[in-house]
Chain A
């Protein structure tokens, strides 16, 4: 892009990283067993990205565009409702 088109002094709007996908970083992906999930939100608070999305009533889903597969959610989930499985 020409210097005339770029934002002055590289000042950008906040939150634009959400458009960048990091799914390619993964080796394993977390899978939530909804039957076991108690909606405690522990996986959500400990996710570094965050790649865990909160829904009504404490339900959570994984944002696979932004999950890097670190495995913290599997390790920390109290009822062991999350399992890391190999990426296909």
Chain B
């Protein structure tokens, strides 16, 4: 059971994230953090992986975190969270303190790639925490290098655009499918533009007695090459073009939480970002077509999965 999101005015006035951090103007990641933490209980503990968010919000002696917060290394946020979960459980059992909700923040780097193993192990073991992947689709902190979360065709500093090759040749890893394959109680995608959907999912996730996962798109003004004022617009377009569908998987049952009946053309989203400008050159037409086809196929796959799984699985009791 969870408290539904009524409206913005009902959200706490006390800020979980303090200003004065060093994230870029218009950074999508900090909006992810604000929305997630405002929806979460006040006693939430945060574990975080190395990345843009971590270095910018915890630069000694300045910390932007008005919550207990721990950073250890790049690849181990989920493992650290397992430890926090176990520590609180053990202490509570002997009457020394109580358990608190645990929220883990990892970028696409620390989640799709270097932190993948720790995430997989931690959720397989059933630890209770919400893992939020703030996905800016490249290793942004180290200078915009490609990750397993970089979409097909995108320019990055390690998938450069030239005569021999133009952008990332591989598809974006389907992280939610992998996580769902671990049979966890709850996994979902969310967008900072759709704050009510995101916050509802945070509360739903935290109400589960086990691991939960939230994949949130975090548009990056520097790495995607767009004006800082357009961050929310970019996140919204990603949803409205079906490029980043908003759905949840609860005990294996898929549900599209924000159906897009008449999608806007994918071009509208791609054209606004410098990292895709090469796709509109005639020699890259085939690559552009693949990108659009994959968007379409993915959305239809989710629709079919929703139909199939709603008939297949009995709702579990949590």
Verify whether A and B have any Cβ pair under 8 Å: yes
Residues of B within 8 A of A50 (CB): 15, 17, 19, 34
For the complex, give the distance between the alpha carbons of A55 and B233 in Å. Answer: 26
For the complex, give the distance between the alpha carbons of A23 and B231 in Å. Answer: 20
For the complex, give the distance between the alpha carbons of A63 and B282 in Å. Answer: 47
For the complex, give the distance between the alpha carbons of A18 and B64 in Å. Answer: 7
A2 within 8 A of B: no
A16 touches B228 (CB 8 A): no
CB nearest to B235 among chain A residues: A46
A/B interface sample: 5 pairs, CB < 8 A: A7-B61, A14-B67, A48-B23, A50-B17, A84-B229
A8 within 8 A of B: no
A75 touches B229 (CB 8 A): yes
Q: What number of A-B contacts does a CB cutoff of 8 Å give?
A: 117
Binding site for B on A (CB under 8 A): 7, 10, 12-22, 25-26, 40-42, 44-51, 54, 58, 63, 65-66, 68-72, 74-76, 84
Binding site for A on B (CB under 8 A): 8-9, 11, 13, 15, 17-28, 30-31, 34-35, 38, 57, 59-69, 192, 195, 221, 227-233
B229 touches A74 (CB 8 A): yes
Residues of B within 8 A of A63 (CB): 19
Residues of A within 8 A of B22 (CB): 22
B203 CB to nearest chain A CB (Å): 16
A42 touches B19 (CB 8 A): no
B195 touches A45 (CB 8 A): yes
A12 touches B8 (CB 8 A): no
Residues of B within 8 A of A54 (CB): 13
